[in-house]
Structures are given as C-alpha cells and as structure tokens.
Amino acid sequence: MQVADSVTHHFQIDGRVIEEGAIERGHINETRFVVVDNEGDIKRYVHQRINAHIFPDPPKMMDNIARVCAHLLRKRGNPEEILQLVPIHEGLSYYRDDNGEYWRTYRFVENTKVYDIVESPEVAYQAAVAFARFVRDIGDLDHARLHLTIPGFHHTPQRVEVFERTIPEATPERKAAAAAEIDFARRNEDLAEKLVSVMDVRPDTIRAVHNDTKVNNVLFHQETGEAVCVLDLDTIMPGTILFDIGDLIRTACNKAAEDEPDIDCVEFNLQTFQAVIEGYADVLGSDLTEEEWDALPYAGIVMTYQQGVRFLTDYLDGDHYFGIHYPEHNLVRTKCQFALTQKMLDALPEMTRIVEECRA
Ligand code: GN1
Ligand code: MG
C-alpha cells in the first residue's frame, strides 16, 4: 500500500515525497516511512495506521500521547529526546481517512538503531535508564486523567480468565497442538496475582507507566551507542512500575528472539537482569516502596508468563490479535515465552539475591 499520495499531505509536512516504504516492526499497527524533499531539505517521517480493532478509541489514545509528549518537552527542553508528533493542518494529532482509518505521524529520529537482542549488559542498563527516566519525568502528570486505552492491559488474572474462557471455544486441533502449553499456563496460574496485588495493597504506588517496554522500543545513537529516545507510547496508562521493569527483563535478558522456534536457544541472562535492576534503581530506587522491592524478583517472570498466556489465547482463538507470519506463529511464540518463564523460575534465588544487593 502507498501512503504518499493519500496520507502525507494531510499532515503539516512541506515538500514532495520522493520515497516511501514499510517499516516491519510491531505486531499491531502498520508502519510506513516517507522521505520528503522540501526544496533540497530532505526529511523523513513515520506514518502509522492505528489498529482500531485493538485500540477502540484512537482519538483518546492520541490525546494521551500528545499530552505526554508535550509534558516531556516542557520538562526536558530537548525535542531530540522525545518523539515528535506532526499534526494535521487543522491541528489534530491524527488524520481519519475516507475508510475511517486513523493515521498519525512522527518525525523520523535520524542516526539511531534498535536492538532486538541485547548484546551486552550495558545496552540493557541504558534501556532501563531511558525507560525509568521516562516514567520519572511523567511522574507529575495526573495519571488519573490518562485515558485507559486498553482496560486491564497488564492485569494478569484477567488475562488468565480470558484464556480459560477461550479454551472451550478452540478447535480440537488447536487444543491438541497446544496441550503442553495449556498445561503449563494452568500449573502456573498462581503467578498471575503477584504484580497486581502490589497495586491492591499499595494503591499509592500506581503511576503513569509505559506498559510496552520491549528493549526494541528504545532508540540508541548509531555512533555513541547512548539511548536517545523511547518509542511506542500507545499504552501509557496508570499501572505499576513492575510492569515496565518486567517487560524489559522479558525482552532484554533472553538471548533468543521472542519467537525463536528452537527453544534450546532460549536462555535467561542474569548479568543482563542485574543491569536492568541497576538501571531502574539508579533512577527510581529511592522512590520504590518495600512492596515493590519485594515483588521485583517476580516482575520478569510474571510479564513473561502473561505474554505467553496472551500468545496462547490468541492461538486458541484463531489468531485475531497479534499479526502472524505463519500459521503456528503464536504457538511458537508461546513455547518460547513459557521456556523463558521456566528458566526465570529456576533463577529466582539468584534474581532475589541481585535485587537484595541493589536494594541495600
Ligand atoms: C504488541 O505491536 P507491538 O510489538 O508494539 C503488544 C504488546 C506485546 C508485544 C509482544 C497493544 O506490541 O503488549 O508485549 O506485542 N501491544 C499491544 O511483542 O497489545
Ligand atoms: Mg507496542
């Protein structure tokens, strides 16, 4: 699909599109880039078509994002460190096309790279610092005024309930193919309460969090290697910092890809885990309560378990949520996430020791 003719000119972008292409990232929204020539001044932009099946109210989501970006800009002053939304001519942060599809546009952040797999603990440390600073800097934004873009997004017990409701509806073939994973999910259901219970016991720890802290949602400077900017602001909502720390652990500490088909390649790296905890502790440590520290060794385990449950639910449901590249993709993702969950459960004593050292 081409966007140059139909989308770009609705946004406040001067010049002529000289190139466009797909950016194959993410499982939900469709992402395209355009290169624009404005009398010799060449700039790149990213257009995203918002998946309204998953984000039922795109204007509300965009309202969250615009508020957060404006707040960060006031706070930091340097626009290079923040995603820059390009508004449409009428001023809105999104454009709705004739088919009712919602589009938004960001300035392309030049000279950066992402890591899908972390090469060194230093990269994980930098990512943790970037995500922690992000949460610190939006800490004085009234989180109660943020729209709930996806209610119950990281409420693991609710995710498990949906999973249980999906099983009887699944085809016998899919149920049989996923029998071992269904069993694993059920055997570990007691994990589901471990993070949300902190919010129940200490509602004062609820704050605006990022909620999608995959390591590849941080842009690193191509030459200096420093973390530059945090991406993917779609799910900023009230929650616990444990969601963010856990999802970074899930993605940074695995030596294999999220959908690695050979589960023997799945490995949990404790040095990287330590780097994540240190990064968060260096920025937010003194803010963390006893209850948050106590739950911290479980953060990665629960978020990995939950991600496995979500992939498994989607597999049983016939693949309606996550984009897939081949028929068994969600099952392969599930196996990988559950293999990682098991490795993390085995490493719980070491994780607890590392957390205690950072807490001291
Ligand atoms: C989805 O589309 P992407 O990659 O940003 C999902 C995350 C999952 C992730 C798994 C709104 O994120 O929650 O952790 O896939 N986003 C949504 O890779 O469900
Ligand atoms: Mg995302």
Give residue-wise pLDDT tens across range 314-345: 999 999 999 999 999 999 999 999 999 999 99
Residue bearing the CA closest to ligand 1, atom 1: 27
Residue 116 belongs to some domain of the structure: no
**Separation of 204 CA from ligand 2 center, angstroms?**
26
Least distant ligand from the CA of 247: 1
- pLDDT the model gives residue 228: 94
- pLDDT the model gives residue 1: 65
Among 69, 84, 108, the domain-final residue is 108
Same domain, 61 and 173: no
Q: How many domains does the chain have?
A: 2
- pLDDT the model gives residue 360: 79
Least distant ligand from the CA of 31: 1
- Whole domain around residue 55: which residue ranges? 2-108
**Is 90 exceeded by the pLDDT of residue 151?**
yes
- pLDDT the model gives residue 4: 76
**Separation of 360 CA from ligand 1 center, angstroms?**
34
Q: What number does the ligand 1 atom closest to the CA of 258 have?
A: 18
Query: What residues flank ligand 1, with Cβ below 6 Å?
Result: 26-28, 54, 212, 214, 232, 234-235, 258, 307
Residue 24 belongs to some domain of the structure: yes
Same domain, 126 and 64: no
Residue 19 belongs to some domain of the structure: yes
**Is 90 exceeded by the pLDDT of residue 78?**
no
- pLDDT the model gives residue 159: 98
- pLDDT the model gives residue 283: 97
Residue 343 belongs to some domain of the structure: yes
**Separation of 28 CA from ligand 1 center, angstroms?**
7
**Separation of 217 CA from ligand 2 center, angstroms?**
8
> Given the structure tokens 């950066």, which residue do they identify?
112
- pLDDT the model gives residue 81: 85
Residue bearing the CA closest to ligand 1, atom 7: 212
Residue 168 belongs to some domain of the structure: yes
Question: Which residues are near ligand 2, the ion (C-beta closer than 5 Å)?
Answer: 212, 232
CA angle at 211 for the pair 339 and 165, rounded to the nearest 5°: 60
- pLDDT the model gives residue 25: 85
- Looking at residue 314, which CATH number applies to its domain? 3.90.1200.10
Q: What number does the ligand 1 atom closest to the CA of 323 have?
A: 2
Q: Are 316 and 175 in contact (CB under 8 A)?
A: yes
Same domain, 263 and 128: yes
Residue bearing the CA closest to ligand 1, atom 4: 26
**Separation of 111 CA from ligand 1 center, angstroms?**
25
pLDDT in tens, 179-209: 999 999 999 999 999 999 999 999 999 999 9
Instruction: Report, as an integer, the average pLDDT of 152-168.
Output: 98
Give the integer Cα–Cα distance in Å for 244 and 132. Answer: 9
Band the pLDDT of 140: cuts 50, 70, 90: very high
Instruction: Report, as an integer, the average pLDDT of 226-254.
Output: 97
Mean pLDDT taken over the chain: 96
**Is 70 exceeded by the pLDDT of residue 277?**
yes
Instruction: Report, as an integer, the average pLDDT of 225-234.
Output: 95
- Looking at residue 71, which CATH number applies to its domain? 3.30.200
Q: Are 139 and 208 in contact (CB under 8 A)?
A: yes
**Is 70 exceeded by the pLDDT of residue 240?**
yes
* 86: exposed, middle or buried (Cβ count in 10 Å: 0-12, 13-18, 19+): middle
Strands 227-230 and 237-239, bridge-based pairing: unpaired
- For the chain, what is the HEC assignment? CCCCCCCHHHECCCCEEEEEEECCCCCCCEEEEEEEEECCEEEEEEEEEECCCCCCCHHHHHHHHHHHHHHHHHHHCCHHHCCCECCECCCCCCEECCCCCEEEEEECCCCEECCCCCCCHHHHHHHHHHHHHHHHHCCCCCHHHCCCCCCCCCCHHHHHHHHHHHHHHCCHHHHHHCHHHHHHHHHCHHHCHHHHHHHHHCHHHCEEECCCCCHHHEEEECCCCCEEEECCCCCCEEECHHHHHHHHHHHHCECCCCCCCCHHHCCECHHHHHHHHHHHHHHHHHHCCHHHHHHHHHHHHHHHHHHHHHHHHHHHCCCCCCCCCCCCHHHHHHHHHHHHHHHHHHCHHHHHHHHHHHHC
Same domain, 104 and 81: yes
- pLDDT the model gives residue 34: 97
pLDDT in tens, 94-133: 999 999 999 999 999 999 999 999 989 999 999 999 999 9
**Separation of 213 CA from ligand 2 center, angstroms?**
8
Instruction: Report, as an integer, the average pLDDT of 149-161.
Output: 97
Same domain, 184 and 273: yes
Same domain, 208 and 149: yes
